[in-house]
Structure 1
């Protein structure tokens, strides 16, 4: 990864104008398309497989109730609502609403169950829409039709599920959040120009994401909360990821590197960490699909797309802008002496000395927190126990109009219905039954309604009727309390528990409890059931990923514990603010349950962000520990190297999340607060206080990993270790000459002897295989087929194990002692050609070239006493046809005839003559112990501990 990103920096430097143009055109195209198509958000929840969804589908099919619903509260100000004049006025309003396209309603004062309040002054007309997300024009038309004339004695309030607050929230808080972020960046960089770049990158990312979501709403169901969540997360991570890369770029510029080299190194190091950090957030967000709720899945995917775009912009657009600005981003020396040294070194073409570290607040802080580690750990745990205690009372529910701002029409309607009828009338339920076997459908439905009415917490029956085909019955009922009340959830479950007995007693089937209230309850239940599996997934992923990165057991366990502490504090703050109502005067909300998907969403996002800070902070400690082996000093120096950037990143992310609280919806506000608190406590209390104390307390044990587990875990280069090795190798090669293969202290098996090999191109390098080492295994290691147990290996300028796939294409192993007649046939060569390409002409060319090369090599090698080298010659010809750079010849000398060993020498010389770097593995202990000449192969004077270079005469 780091090497790929290093090369990406060079490519962007050569095409920075093109990169800027591509992003500009993409943004313009997406914004144009979104403007033409418009938004089509849908806040309805569809949960396949639940009883409430089955019932809703049945209502749509049998009763034509396909869309969402609304309510019109009608109150008489001059006497009972059942008076002649009032009844006529109510009928006129109902007829006006029912006459609208896509809308259906009925008179609530007629039929078997007339609906009148206890004071006889109010009634409620239920409005049904054919669309699950009615347009603003339809909603406005219903509002106009339901509004009585100024001279009327009626008052109306319009609300219900269809009527949500669709007004655009104020962008002022978000702009203030961006301003705070800009100021933090300006202080961090000491440059206004540099401070504006992460802001620009994040705004482009938000523009691309939001426009894409608008386009997707035309073909998929997308919640109106999805773009806000994506915007909030896109801004936060977009600024942070750009900050990480730009700060590393400026640091390399300060060391005297050219802009292209500085950006290439920044991408290889900080860019690798950004890719890893972004991947963890994306994985966590896509994990929201475990709840199996399509709207939530789309919400998670939208946020994951915002993070992915932020990563792409940080890796492409930001470098392009930075390289376009060039030297203007180079930090200025702090003192006249530094400026003089910088000028002299730049004039001489050298590298400036890095700035000497200064003792700042970060250094003083880490020394204080690690002086008595146990005391710090105990204090932090006690603080988190207090902060997380409110989370034990967390209650979840989907929001309804009871949580809407008090000055909105839907909230006013909710409150008026509650005053006139009771809170349960805002949350009607429906019971459906298959009555096709009934001889008297109306009587059967009435009997079902009587049984439903007798259930505790059922306060009224609104409707009991069969459909026109008389095969399905519908009973509409009112619970005692609202949707978010525990008694309503218990009532839904009670009705479902009684349904089996009613089916047998009334000779009906498939009794279902449904309606929007039941759907919301089922969604909350499913989200609650998914919380533990999702938490297990996130925690398990956290442990595995960090174990791979840090090669440690203690570090992942400590990081995961810290993450759980941060989640607990975030949930505690949300419960205190929104469920207990501590911040009601400032939030404009009423105390109530927390939105059901908040825990799973906050856990997913906070997981990725917490791993960001763990990565950038602890990776610096690990880098120092690997070099110094001093665990305490590694913590101090690693903290000092990364704390400034982590502090700035955490402050920026917290300010962005806080900016979405004042103007957010009832869904967004608690999520934004939870993320703001979670990020703040995770960065400043967990990562920058608890982590250093734990690391110092553990000492060397913090970096312990069992050998067997180390071998099982894949190698992941996050902090650019491969890049440093690549640079070291290139500097070494510049001083000693090109090599096709370089092995230093290479260990093939545990406890085996180290092997050193230097193989230049166009040269045969003989390597005597040490006793106890299998020459075939050594050959597979040298060409990247088998991982080494230790040491350093570079093949064709490519590092192992990081560039294993490239090495597999650039190197091949020819086993001399294997006689496989099938491998010499033309059909076997044709099979290899078919794998190389699907084009017949290319296959024929490959076969012809391979056969020609095999003939040339065979003529050069000459006849021998055995046929075992002929397959080897074909393998070598296939390698040359693929233009491999390195060929390793392996065969046990004691199993080969003397003539065959001479043929092996000639084959090696022929391959070297064609430019390949050839490594010839020898197993005979003494035969080649001294330099000698024979059959066109001679040894020069350059020797390695186990390798000798020979060249073709």
Structure 2
């Protein structure tokens, strides 16, 4: 290997390698030995994974799911108010709650309506761990609309779940309540509407749209690897890891706070990175076979080259996600831990299951028959039908089975058994990717500045980013949750969907009068529709004031109202009285949660970017390359954030995508950053390690860029295209958080793999030339050399 001109002596290379003899006289590393052993012992590997899967299934089935929804924030005012409410009022103000909303044109006190509604609410109240506050009860007057055209026609009942209730139990409870509503006969009465509100009680449909991504992956992989068997090996490897990952998340939910959408995120991320990792290793394996290595030796070489970058990128994603544990919020930690477990399992699967499957398939990896490609196309059609809900397309699945069966008979005379030819690969410098790189390098300033300008324009909306939680008004219009939200807003005003609870502990009878004075002040405050008198707790140790804002839960004015009450109204009214009032309720919980994360987001970003700079500096022995990588990561992720703000917060194209404008959930930016950081590092390492390899071999800073791009662009583009569709397909789901993740990941990957890797990287590499690989001698001596490209490179045999 020819070192760059003027380079300092290299420090010892840090590798996890053994000292066994390589079949061709080179030393065998741990990576190579692992790949060769898995290749030679496929049934042992697959049996081990089967045992692992069965154990995970048994554990998950025994423990069951126990998803949590607590948005508790350390030492927040909402948290302290919840403790007071729990101690003195029971479940009032719980974050897991709902409403049963009634609209009756004849009036909610119509005898037939009232009788049926009273019986329904009594039945719901009899359910364990559920408390119902009826509009027909002793203090139910405030739950019946007064004034305006809807006076007396609207009513609602609060449904409070105890804090012992798990979110996974809330969904089935919601279905049970809907069945009770249907059985009550209310919906069959003329002019009567009854709906159940509350996001935690909403029916959660299992995701199906990932099948759309798989259908697309089938075609892209066949085109990219030229083999149905290779496609099946790649997808199969990813599915093994994803399946076990979801089971692990289910079991994990019993020990940490895991939100109910975590398995869906696990499927999304696992499928994307699983196919990505498997494709990168498979592509390198085929390249080594093309250089003349035997398949078993080629598997070892593939793991010692591409496998290293997979481990590096996967470990980076895992560490980034585990970094969310340091935020100190159980809800966020549960999301990060769930995703990290899935990525780790998928990464290990890529390094073990894939070599084992390669050992089983043998020569069939390069053979494609008519029956195989026909059956694969039919399976893709069936997957598309499943993902889009077009059920007649599912008939393609038995048709695929029929094709495979028909193709098993008749010998070579059967046209289904005919082997399809493959196009001979072009020499690197005859490919379109090489020509693209040379075009970019011929006008480096144009592409560098133009590409950066596009990223800045896409990222511009992020300046208006508002973190917060969406509400039930963002549910699809045909759901009972959305209908209940709309009815409540019609009858009582938007703020009825997100009341505030002001609670204070009392030690003397005069304290109650003081709080009644606060209630009067609240009723004079802008943004308050209604504040109730102070209601003492059953034990007399606290009092509660219910406040209804004039605006909805996700409205920016509601957030401003909460801060106004805490900072000005309450202190000004209670100063010197000895009474300490706290603002709580679900909306206050969400505001405190958002504020807490906002204050730590930049610290998290800085830590991740700093770590990436140091890692890339050790990998590429350069200061410029990691600095550019950090800047490009920031720009591409910023562009993704900008698209999310425009679509989800501003509502652009919302009618097309089924999205209502709302704030961006506060944990989304951190999660996206952690995942995208690792994925972009994968492409960065895969592309730049090839460029560096070419440069160190030839010392040519110009052609090394073009050769490196030409050698990697096809697999990067294929992997990115698959991930874009896999992630993008989740935009079709109903869950807003899943939509956000899907679009954020798809947008960032599309930008990173095209605009950044194919245009900005080659242009900036051209502008800086040999300076890309500059590192001060003193720094070169002290930092470890983390070699990603491996020990099994044959510099004398370059791929054509």
For 1:129, the equivalent position in structure 2 comes to 161
Given candidates 766, 777, 780, the residue that maps to 1:710 is 780
RMSD (CA atoms): 2.4
Greater relative CO, 1 or 2 (CA 8 Å, sep 6+): 2
Matches within 5 A, 1:395-794: 395-436=466-507, 438-440=508-510, 442-462=512-532, 464-498=534-568, 499-509=570-580, 511-720=581-790, 722-724=791-793
- Other-structure match for 2:247: 211
2:86 counterpart of 1:60: yes
Q: Does 1:75 align with 2:113?
A: no
Q: Which residue of 1 aligns with 2:130?
A: 103
Q: Measure how far apart 1:464 and its partner are.
A: 3.1
Q: Deviations over 1:373-402 (max 9, x none)?
A: 111112112222222222222222122211
Q: What is aligned with 1:139?
A: 174
- 1:586-618 deviations in Å (ceiling 9; x for gaps): 322212222222211111111111111111111
Output the CA distance in 1 between the equivalents of 2:562 and 2:358: 59
Residue deviations 1:183-226 (CA, integer Å, cap 9, x gap):
11111111111111110000001110011111222343210111
Q: CA deviation at 1:164?
A: 2.2
- Is the 1:44–1:132 Cα contact (8 Å) retained in structure 2? no
Question: Is the alpha carbon distance of 1:637 and 1:112 closer, same or farther for their aligned partners in structure 2, counting shifts above 3 Å?
Answer: closer
For 1:674 and 1:590, how far apart are their aligned partners in 2? Answer: 16
Task: Please report how far the alpha carbon of residue 664 of structure 1 lies from its aligned counterpart in structure 2 after TM superposition.
Answer: 4.6
Which deviates more, 83-92 or 363-372? 83-92
Task: Kindly state the Cα deviation for residue 9 of structure 1 after the two structures are TM-superposed.
Answer: 2.2
Report the Cα distance in structure 2 between the residues aligned to 1:559 and 1:72, rounded to whole angstroms. Answer: 53
Gaps of 5+ in 1: 333-352, 729-953
Deviation at 1:48? 2.7
**CA–CA separation in structure 2 for the residues paired with 1:5 and 1:115:** 67
Corresponding residue SS for 1:396: coil
Q: Distance in 2 between matches of 1:549 and 1:214?
A: 36
Describe the superposition over 1:243-294 as per-residue Cα deviations: whole angstroms up to 9, x where unpaired.
1111111111122211211111111111111111111111221222343221
Q: Which residue of 1 aligns with 2:196?
A: 158
1:445-498 Cα offsets, whole Å, 9 max, x none, are: 433332333332111135631112211111111111112111111111122224
Q: For residues 846-886 of structure 1, what are the alpha-carbon distances to aligned partners after superposition, in whole Å with 9 as ceiling and x for unaligned?
A: xxxxxxxxxxxxxxxxxxxxxxxxxxxxxxxxxxxxxxxxx
Q: CA deviation at 1:504?
A: 3.7
Match of 1:40 among 57, 66, 70: 66
Deviation of the 1:161 alpha carbon: 4.0
Is the partner of 1:594 in helix, strand or coil? coil
Distance 1:106 1:655, change over 3 A: closer
Q: Report whether the alignment pairs 1:280 with 2:316.
A: yes
Distance in 1, matches of 2:123 and 2:575, equals 43
Q: Which moved more, 1:50-59 or 1:579-588?
A: 579-588
Paired residue secondary structure (2:529): strand
Q: Distance in 2 between matches of 1:519 and 1:359?
A: 60
659-668 vs 111-120, which moves further: 111-120
Q: Distance in 2 between matches of 1:354 and 1:447?
A: 83
* Partner Cα separation in structure 1 for residue 202 and residue 171 of structure 2: 10
Q: Secondary structure at the match of 1:127?
A: strand
Kept in 1, the 8 Å contact 2:594–2:666? The answer is yes
CA deviation map 1:554-575 (0-9, x unaligned): 1111111111111122112212
**Matched residues in 1 for 2:617 and 2:642: separation?**
29
In the alignment, which residue of structure 2 is the partner of 1:249?
Answer: 285
Flag the 1:152–1:179 CA change in 2: closer, same or farther, 3 A: closer
Could you list the per-position Cα deviations for residues 619-657 of structure 1 after superposition, in whole angstroms to 9, with x for gaps in the alignment?
Answer: 111111112111111111111111111111111111211
- Of the structure 1 ranges 703-712 and 95-104, higher mean CA displacement relative to structure 2 is found in 95-104
Going from structure 1 to structure 2, the CA distance change for 1:463 and 1:280 (only over 3 Å counts) comes to farther
How far apart are residue 96 of structure 1 and its match?
3.7
Distance in 2 of aligned mates of 1:248 and 1:296 = 37
In 2 relative to 1, CA 678–137 (structure 1 residues): closer, same or farther, beyond 3 Å?
A: closer
After TM superposition, give the deviation of residue 87 of structure 1 in Å. 5.7
Higher mean C-alpha displacement, 6-15 vs 673-682: 6-15
Post-superposition offset of 1:719: 0.7
Distance 1:401 1:31 in 2: 34
- Tell me if the contact between 2:621 and 2:785 (Cα under 8 Å) persists in the aligned partners: no
Instruction: Supply the distance in 2 between the matched residues of 1:177 and 1:162 (Cα, whole angstroms).
Output: 28
Q: Which moved more, 1:213-222 or 1:591-600?
A: 213-222
C-alpha spacing 1:53/1:148, structure 2 compared with 1 (3 Å): farther
Residue 40 of structure 1 deviates from its aligned partner by: 2.7
**What CA distance in whole angstroms lies between the structure 2 residues aligned with 1:161 and 1:180?**
32
Please give the secondary structure, in 1, of the residue aligned with 2:731: coil
Residue 51 (structure 2) pairs with residue 25 (structure 1): yes
Q: Which has the higher helix share?
A: 2
Name the SS of the counterpart of 1:6 in structure 2: helix
Paired residues in the alignment total 701
Q: 1:367-426 deviations in whole A, cap 9, x for unaligned?
A: 111101111112112222222222222222122211111111101111111122211110
The aligned runs of 1:185-224 (5 Å cut-off) are 185-224=221-260
Residue 318 of structure 1 and its aligned partner are, at CA, apart by: 0.5
Q: Where does residue 368 of structure 1 map in the other structure?
A: 439
- Name the counterpart of 2:5: none
| 3-state DSSP of counterpart to 1:316 | helix
Aligned to 2:416: none
- Provide the secondary structure at the position in 1 that maps to 2:539: coil
Displacement after TM superposition at 1:167 (Å) = 2.1
Report the CA distance between 1:92 and its aligned residue: 4.5
User: What's the offset of the Cα at 1:550?
Assistant: 0.6
